[in-house]
A and B are shown apart, each in its own frame.
Chain A
Amino acid sequence: MDLNYTEAQHAFRAEIREWLAVNVPRTPLASFDTKEGFAAHREWERTLAKGNWGMVTWPEVYGGRGCDLIEWLIFEEEYYRAGAPLRVNQNGIFLLGPTLMEYGTEEQKARFIPAMASGDEIWAQGWSEPNAGSDMAAIRCRADRDGDEFVINGQKIWSTRAVYADWVFGLFRTDPASERHRGLSKILVPLNAAGITVRPIAQLNGLPGFAEIFFDDVRVPAFNMLGGEGEGWNIAMATAGFERGLMLRSPARFQQAARRLVDLYRDRGNDILDPSIEDAVLRCYMDAEAYALSTYQTASKLTRGGSIGPEASCNKIFWSEMDILIHETAMKLLGARAEIEPETATEITELGSWLDGFMFAQSGPIYAGTNEIQRNIIAERMLGMPRK
């Protein structure tokens, strides 16, 4: 055990810090769930890509820097410290990217990864269907083989970023006779293909952060299937592992929020009348740090050749419930003014983005597998409690 950064890691931190100081937009971008905000975030992805900062863990040939996970954590720490824009392509770079690296053919990697890294192709995800939510194995959306193509029919729902994205990856039933986890395949579909209808769904904040996607005889080349036919479930589990596990919610995000919460608490000072708030602020700060330490532990383990086990299911519960506590505490600190949606410059300065974050935090215990499902997984697969 050595909890010191190497000189090379210090140098890496200095390099990204300097680049971000020059390049991060001075005024925050509009939400990527608006048309102009999406375009601005795509532009930011292009800026990142030009500096080779799009996805530092990828090999150089794909626009990355071949960094290890510790360097990725350092990158994330500096990224959140600088207040850089959220990653509009997170479905691509954090979820599909690692899966492509593991299961894609060389041709598929060459086709999809550079365009993902450059921001030219932004990805949506297509797991859920109206009758396949927590029970994802109930997927019915079909992809029938027809020569060198698949013909897709059916519906996906809750597809994050699908309103403005270019591509969607998802699970489709390629064997019509199959049931449950068998006979599913992972297929990548361009959202401008003939036969696709995207119907935006407004989220709690009123913006269309996700959508329904209808597939009506949509034809895609068989080349777009990732991994073997019928292997979709296992590949999806690997993606879900990344999502729940290391990549989707890096600790820096919560450490930065907890740091801002401490600042808010200091600013409110003597105005705080609720004695439970102090305890909550402490808890938020400690939990954010605990999440960071745990992630460093996992990253160290992976760097030494270990693997992520079922304990990764703990991550998602921990960060999603911590995120709620951080934002609930901020709402308490803001008191009755917490309900105001900031519009004027003064309001934005005083109230920050806490209300927006508070609303988004409500979704954390639901997406990427509800926390109830995660608790079942922990009890059965990690602890070994009886299934029947």
Chain B
Amino acid sequence: MDFTFSDDQLSFRDALHAMLVGEVTTDRIRSRWDTDSGTDEALLQQIQAFGFGSMLVPESLDGLGLDLVDFVLLAEACGRAALPEPVVESAMVVTPLLVDVLDRGLGNGFVQEVLDGLIAGTTSVAVAHPINPCVNFAHRADWLLLEHGDELHLIHRDSTTLKSHKSVDPSRRLASVTFDPSSDTQIANGEAGAKLWRATLNRGALASAAQLLGLTQGIIDQCIQYSTDRHQFGRAIGVNQAVKHLMADVAVQLEYVKPVVYRAAYTAAVSPDRADFAVSHAKIAAARAAMLAARNSIQLHGAMGYTWECDLQIWVKRCWALAREWGDDGFHKNRMHEWLLRPNALLGPEFTFGRRSITDSVDVA
């Protein structure tokens, strides 16, 4: 039993954080808003240099062979920087889905080629899970992973129809996707397809939860700065207990979301078939903390918090969006509820990590 990250994992996170602090400035985020692509291609190259393309690809497929526990801290760092590009989803959701397809001996001739392109950073892929009404950055994806019942299709973007939607978060680029499914594009179906979609939902919710952790921390960072700099009645506003407690409430919640998200990452890595409740818990708790952070931070900034000019909106609006993607509260609470009321659910203090291990933690049918 060791619920800590290794020094390597932590220093990798710190290195990424340091790079993002330097490169993902609020000015550069705002300059993306005025472009059609919404992305900074030079930055994407820098991220690729960190190995994002191959990190969650097993060594047998020429990847780095890391797992979700290694990656969850990096996703958190991307959230803290409010990084607009969908690199977390690409590494944590899209890539593992393609790897799963190959692992099961499914797919068509294109899958390996597309995965190779992802590893090399030359191809971009987005996934359209039915739980999300839109796909973020679909227009810059070369390939799209699409759902048709339990079927999974891999289609070149040119063969789909995209309809753009404006997001409350100017950093996001949403589109709804329509396509004509055919046997040429189908790479999985039936029970295997359903299983792939379910695992994808869990990895998507985990990716959101991890970024929400980082976003919450990013909001705290700005509030500390503002409450120190801004003076009223001749002193910093952060001196007032009413202001302090707005942030203390967020900090308390955040402290108790972190281990929940890390446990979800561990469970999804070692026992993906049994990760539903751990992931749903993580998504519910991370969204709750982030929504409180968003609310309290606007209050703390006063009228400035309600302006377009204030950079706080970059983080706050991302929280609003991510809190609901990959399953909103209603979806995840229902999953938790169903699990909790199962007659054979393992409840109580002796089952924190399952009967004997996380791999048998959900039930023993």
Contacts and interface: CB of A to CB of B under 8 A. Distances in A.
Nearest to B251: A378
Nearest to A285: B340
B195 interface: no
Question: Which of A6, A13, A317 has the most B CB atoms < 10 Å from its CB?
Answer: A317
A376 B242 CA distance: 10
Interface in B338-356: 340-341, 347-350, 352-353, 356
Given A1-B2, A384-B224, A77 B244 contact: no
Contacts of B353: 3-5
Contact of A9 (B1, B239, B258, B358): B1
B2 A385 contact: no
Given A80-B349, A300-B3, A278 B337 contact: yes
Contacts of A304: 2, 4
Interface residues of A, number: 62
Interface residue SS majority, chain A: helix
B227 A282 contact: no
B350 A77 contact: yes
B352 A1 contact: no
Nearest to A287: B256
B336 A5 contact: no
A289 interface: yes
Contacts of B340: 262, 281-282, 285
A256 interface: yes
Contact of B348 (A4, A259, A317, A318): A259
A386 B333 contact: no
Interface in A224-282: 251-252, 255-256, 258-259, 262, 266, 278-279, 281-282
B349 A255 contact: yes
B241 A376 contact: yes
Nearest to B220: A383
A70 interface: yes
B352 A294 contact: no
A317 B252 CA distance: 8
Contacts of A258: 347
Nearest to B265: A1
A10 B252 contact: no
Contacts of B259: 290, 293-294, 296-297
Nearest to B329: A279
B248 interface: yes
B285 interface: yes
Interface size class of B (residues with CB under 8 A): 35 or more
Contacts of B336: 282, 285-286
A1 B349 contact: no
B30 to A, nearest CB: 27
B349 A375 contact: no
Contacts of A388: 235, 239
Contact of A378 (B5, B248, B349, B356): B248
A293 B333 contact: no
Nearest to A281: B340
A45 interface: no
A293 B220 contact: no
Nearest to A250: B349
B115 interface: no
A324 B243 CA distance: 24
B260 interface: yes
Nearest to A71: B1
A4 B4 contact: no
A76 interface: yes
B256 A385 contact: no
Contacts of A308: none
Contacts of A300: 1-4
B341 A266 contact: yes
B333 A379 contact: no
A376 B6 CA distance: 32
A314 B255 contact: yes
Interface string A59-77: 0000000000010000011
Contact of A385 (B244, B257, B357): B244
A336 B356 CA distance: 41
A279 B284 CA distance: 12
Q: Which 3 A-B pairs have the closest CB atoms?
A: A379-B244, A252-B349, A293-B259
12 contacts: A4-B353, A76-B349, A80-B349, A255-B348, A262-B347, A286-B260, A291-B256, A300-B1, A303-B2, A311-B255, A372-B245, A383-B251
